[in-house]
Structure 1
Amino acid sequence: MEMQSELSNRLQIWTLAKMRAETQLERAIWERTKMVREIEELRRQREVLNQRIEFCKQKDAIGMAARLADTRCTFREYTTEEIQAAKVEVPRRLEQCLEGTLQPLHCFH
């Protein structure tokens, strides 16, 4: 009878240990599943951020290209007096540049 009682006690101990181990295993599986979901969400967020960064880079490049390609030609109407003054000033400056009395930087600015 004593041996049967001892075996029954051992069986209960092993059964409890098995249940505890199964509970711990289920908890570990649940934690792992939760971590995998969080990792997937972080990867998705990273991909969204990378797409936004790429979009901003392209937008900046397009803006820069547009600014570089913006060669505006402005039209200005000159008065008769300005045209007459230029007819006198341009040949005078050209002559000074050719003679060397004006630095090339100042020739027509």
Structure 2
Amino acid sequence: QAIISTTEEQLQQHINRLQLACNEYNMRINIDKTEVMTFAREENTTNISIDNHLLNQVKDFTYLGSIFSANGRITNEIQHRCNKANQIIGQIAPILRCKH
């Protein structure tokens, strides 16, 4: 899942509400698997925490099979898709060469 906010304060509020809802149903957020990413032209550091544990901030994040980069560029996504296409072409090339 993804939580999207326009400010760091708003994101922390959303995380706090999620934490309260989880506590109410005896669930917990896996802090080791929860990451934060900001989209900005220049590198930006955020301090989002759960139960006083600072969440890891990442520069790239894969969501629903697409790669999102903090700098807003799509070069990593394009490279990823080209690599996948090359893998598929490599797998079907013998079939395409078959003369039967």
The two structures share one fold, judged by TM-score above 0.5: no
Structure having the higher strand fraction is 2
Structure having the higher helix fraction is 1
More relative contact order in 1 or in 2 (CA 8 Å, sep 6+)? 2
* TM-score normalized with structure 1 length: 0.27
Structure with bigger gyration radius: 1
